[in-house]
Amino acid sequence: MLGQIFGFVKDIINPVTKMVDELTTTDEEKLKLKNKLQQIENDLAVSVMKHEEEQIKAQRDIIVAEIQSGWLTRNWRPILMISITAIVVNNYILYPYLSMFTEKAIILELPDKLWNLMTIGVGGYIASRGGEKIIEKLKK
């Protein structure tokens, strides 16, 4: 996501920078304009990084608040993810194997909405961890 935003900023600034080259003015004025455009690009990049950092901090604060609260509040997401994972393991690992030996093996229903929830849960975790690592590197 961050890379897409930086790409978008560059897509806006690059054509303007090329226009500066085509201006009929002194090389010194062209250089000043290019420097100003580079400063604008840098300022936009810093603003985007700050915004991303604020979002990650807000997500972290929510997780910290859940951890510090009661047992159920702290563990409902992991329990939900484990439950959905257990259904997936049953349906795609256990059932095919057990059905070779017995007719009592069952497939558990996994509604599309639960599958989507698991996808979002895992994707959100990966994205937030990736964002944290990017921000730590950019701070250095």
**Tens digits of per-residue pLDDT, 84-104?**
889 999 999 999 999 999 999
pLDDT at 93: 94
Asked which of 34, 50, 68 is the last residue of a domain, the reply is 68
Q: Point out the least confidently predicted range of 15-19, 38-42, 50-54.
A: 15-19
Of 93, 118, 117, nearest in space to 105 by CA: 93
* Domain encompassing residue 97: 70-140
How much is the mean pLDDT over the chain?
80
Based on the fold, state whether residues 7 and 62 are members of the same structural domain.
yes
Based on the fold, state whether residues 58 and 93 are members of the same structural domain.
no
Based on the fold, state whether residues 111 and 60 are members of the same structural domain.
no
Q: What is the mean pLDDT of residues 105-112?
A: 89
Reported residue count of the chain is 140
CB 17 within 8 A of CB 37: yes
Based on the fold, state whether residues 77 and 44 are members of the same structural domain.
no
Q: What is the mean pLDDT of residues 34-47?
A: 85
pLDDT at 2: 56
CB 105 within 8 A of CB 94: yes
Rounded to 5 degrees, φ, ψ at 42 are: -65, -40
pLDDT at 102: 92
Asked which of 68, 101, 116 is the last residue of a domain, the reply is 68
**Cα–Cα separations (whole angstroms), residue 88 to 69, 80, 83, 125, 129:** 30, 13, 9, 19, 24
Based on the fold, state whether residues 77 and 133 are members of the same structural domain.
yes
pLDDT at 24: 65
What percent of the chain shows pLDDT beyond 90? 15
Burial of 66 per CB tally in 10 Å (0-12, 13-18, 19+):
middle
Q: Where residue 78 falls among pLDDT bands split at 50, 70, 90?
A: confident
Q: Where residue 3 falls among pLDDT bands split at 50, 70, 90?
A: low
pLDDT at 91: 93
Report the domain count for the chain.
2
